[in-house]
């Protein structure tokens, strides 16, 4: 079959890195991504199934690989060459439609789960990600043993599959995975909000960025932490409208976020920093500038949640040190504890959230795999081009 595949080629990664700021399309052409003939992966063992891809989204982490910006951190946690694609709705051989929870967890890799009923992302030991019968890979879409969604077919373990109802369109289902990520980040705000010093003040959560992940975080905040005051910095008009529609109380341009948070907190601005600020800030972008901004607008002893994959950042951490700011990564999903004490898998929360929001409105365009250069360019410029989520569509079976 023909699929998109990423190879470990230092020269091509370098070329993509140079080309991407000027032209994401050029990066897709000359970088480590190839549209090529690949073998369908073998089933690794019992509990594994073949999945025919229907829709597969293009995520920011995919783009960072295609454009050569991904951190070297991953070189030991992935296995080349691999077929990317972890935001997937597909179909099993019996025609059942499924959504992929892409984390290659303990069960998929032949390890005992950390606790009964654990989700693939749970646990405090990542040994299983790089050992065992599968080649290393943090998720489907980063592992050469499983393939990924940017191919007509891949393999997935039963523990990774969520069957979806007939009335859920593919266009909605493909957004479950990113929504799970956003909801997980939103719920990481809960402990800080619960422990805030003055419980009579309304809890403030700022969200930096309103691409798919930022919007998903806003939706998660509104749905599962309904009392929070959500203030969003969104660059583009359509993003601002969606953030408002998903429940943000205040939506401003990114350059106006600090003042909006200040107004809500009723604090001062000293230099570049708020004297108080948001209890929690979710950075859904992940650049040096946004992480620095997040620290500036988060109140002392507050939490900054890094939802956007940050890679290399250059930061003056004096403010973080002085303010005792907690920097918290938000990677994927797992089992969540809701404010009322209930536990639930993030994917289950994401499924109910995308249904409630009819999240398919975020899917702006789909492309054939053969048009991957255009697709990558569109995804890389999504905000500027009035789009949110771009996906590959393999439902015609022509690819």
Partner 1 sequence: MPRPGFVLNVDRSTPPTLFWHGEGFRLEKLPADRSRVIYAPEPLDAVDDIDGAIQDALLNPIEMDPLPTLLFPGMKLTIAFDDVSLPLPKMQRPDLRQRIIEQVLTMAADAGVDDVHIIAALALHRRMHEFELRHALGDRVYDAFEPRGTLYQHDAEDPDNLTLLGSTPEGEEVEINKRAAESDLLVYVNINLVAMDGGWKSTATGLASYRSLRHNHNPTTMEASHSFMDQHKSELHKSNWRMGEIMREHGPTVFQIETTLNTDTFPKPFGYLSKREWEWNAKDRALYLGAAKSLAKTPPRLARKIFQGIEAPHQMTSVQAGEVEAVHKITTENVYDQQLVEVEGQTDILTMGIPYICAYNVHSIMNPILVMCTGLGYFFNMYRGKPLVREGGVVILTHPTPNEFHPVHHPSYIDFFEEVLADTTDPHVMSQKWEKQYAEDDWYRHLYRTTHAYHGVHPFYMWYWGSHGMKHVGKVIIVGGDAPTVRKLGFTPASTMNDAFEIASDVVGRQPTITHLKTPPLMIADVK
- List contacts with partner 1 (CB under 8 A): 250, 252, 256, 259-260, 262-263, 266-269
- How buried is residue 342: exposed, middle or buried, by Cβ count under 10 Å (0-12/13-18/19+)? exposed
Q: Between residues 2 and 259, which has the closer beta carbon with respect to partner 1?
A: 259
Q: Between residues 201 and 370, which has the closer beta carbon with respect to partner 1?
A: 201
CB of 268 to partner 1, least distance (A): 4
CB of 299 to partner 1, least distance (A): 14
Concatenated DSSP letters of 332-353: S--EEE-TTS-EEEHHHHHHHH
Residue 113 has phi, psi (to 5 degrees) of: -65, 155
Q: Between residues 58 and 261, which has the closer beta carbon with respect to partner 1?
A: 261
Q: Is the peptide bond before 84 cis (omega within 30 degrees of 0)?
A: no
Distance CA 12, CA 19 (A): 10
CB of 365 to partner 1, least distance (A): 28
Q: Between residues 158 and 255, which has the closer beta carbon with respect to partner 1?
A: 255
CB of 300 to partner 1, least distance (A): 16
Structure tokens at 22: 């000027």
Q: Between residues 253 and 329, which has the closer beta carbon with respect to partner 1?
A: 253
Q: Are 390 and 382 in contact (CB under 8 A)?
A: yes
Concatenated DSSP letters of 20-67: TTT-HHHHHHHSSEEEEE-PPPPP-STTEEEEEEEEEE--HHHHHHHT
Q: Between residues 262 and 323, which has the closer beta carbon with respect to partner 1?
A: 262
Closest by Cα among 316, 311, 309, 263 to 293: 316
CB of 285 to partner 1, least distance (A): 21
Q: Are 102 and 162 in contact (CB under 8 A)?
A: no
Q: Are 229 and 203 in contact (CB under 8 A)?
A: yes
Q: Between residues 43 and 269, which has the closer beta carbon with respect to partner 1?
A: 269
CA 375 to chain centre: 18
Distance CA 312, CA 351 (A): 33
Instruction: Please give the sequence-ordered ranges of beta strands (E in DSSP) within the chain, or none if there are none.
Output: 2-6, 33-37, 48-57, 88-92, 97-100, 153-157, 161-163, 204-208, 229-233, 250-252, 269-270, 273-274, 278-283, 298-306, 326-329, 335-337, 343-345, 363-367, 389-393
CB of 7 to partner 1, least distance (A): 47
CB of 231 to partner 1, least distance (A): 11
CB of 218 to partner 1, least distance (A): 18
Q: Between residues 3 and 260, which has the closer beta carbon with respect to partner 1?
A: 260
Q: Between residues 8 and 259, which has the closer beta carbon with respect to partner 1?
A: 259
CB of 302 to partner 1, least distance (A): 18
Q: Between residues 15 and 258, which has the closer beta carbon with respect to partner 1?
A: 258
CB of 256 to partner 1, least distance (A): 6
Distance CA 52, CA 276 (A): 51
CB of 233 to partner 1, least distance (A): 12
Q: Between residues 4 and 232, which has the closer beta carbon with respect to partner 1?
A: 232
Concatenated DSSP letters of 274-316: ESS-EEEEEESS-SHHHHHHHHHHEEEEEEEEE-S---S----
Beta bridge partners of 367: 392
């Amino acid at each position: 079959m023909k699929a998109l595949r990423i190879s470990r080629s230092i020269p091509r990664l370098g070329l993509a890195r140079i080309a991407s700021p000027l032209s994401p399309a050029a990066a897709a052409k000359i970088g480590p991504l190839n549209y090529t003939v690949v073998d369908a992966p073998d089933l690794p063992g019992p509990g594994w199934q073949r999945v025919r891809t229907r829709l597969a989204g293009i995520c920011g982490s995919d783009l960072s690989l295609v454009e050569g910006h991904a951190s070297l951190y991953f070189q030991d946690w992935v296995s080349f060459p691999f077929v990317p694609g972890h935001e997937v709705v597909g179909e099993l051989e019996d025609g059942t439609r499924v959504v992929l929870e892409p984390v290659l967890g303990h069960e998929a890799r032949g390890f005992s789960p950390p606790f009964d009923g654990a989700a693939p992302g749970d646990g405090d030991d990542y040994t299983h990600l790089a050992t065992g019968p599968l080649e290393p890979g943090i998720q489907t879409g980063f592992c050469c043993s499983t393939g990924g969604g940017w191919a007509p077919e891949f393999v997935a373990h039963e523990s990774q599959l969520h069957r979806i109802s007939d009335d859920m369109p593919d266009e909605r289902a493909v957004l479950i995975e990113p929504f799970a990520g956003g909801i997980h980040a939103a719920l990481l705000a809960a402990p800080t909000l619960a422990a805030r010093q003055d419980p009579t003040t309304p809890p403030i959560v700022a969200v930096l960025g309103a691409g798919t992940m930022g919007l998903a975080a806003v939706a998660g905040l509104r749905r599962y932490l309904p009392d929070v005051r959500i203030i969003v910095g969104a660059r583009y008009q359509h993003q601002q409208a969606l953030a408002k529609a998903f429940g943000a109380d205040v939506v401003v341009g990114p350059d106006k976020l600090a003042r909006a948070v200040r107004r809500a907190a009723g604090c001062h601005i000293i230099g570049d920093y708020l004297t108080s600020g948001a209890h929690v800030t979710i950075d859904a972008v992940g650049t040096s500038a946004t992480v620095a901004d997040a620290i500036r607008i988060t109140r002392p002893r507050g939490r900054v949640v890094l939802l956007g994959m940050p890679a290399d950042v250059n930061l003056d951490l004096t403010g973080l040190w002085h303010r005792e700011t907690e920097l918290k990564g938000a990677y994927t999903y797992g089992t969540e504890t809701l404010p009322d004490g209930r536990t639930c898998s993030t994917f289950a929360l994401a499924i109910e959230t995308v249904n409630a929001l009819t999240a398919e409105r975020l899917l702006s365009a789909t492309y054939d795999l053969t048009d991957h250069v255009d697709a990558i360019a569109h995804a890389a410029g999504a905000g500027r081009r009035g789009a949110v989520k771009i996906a590959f569509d393999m439902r015609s079976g022509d690819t």
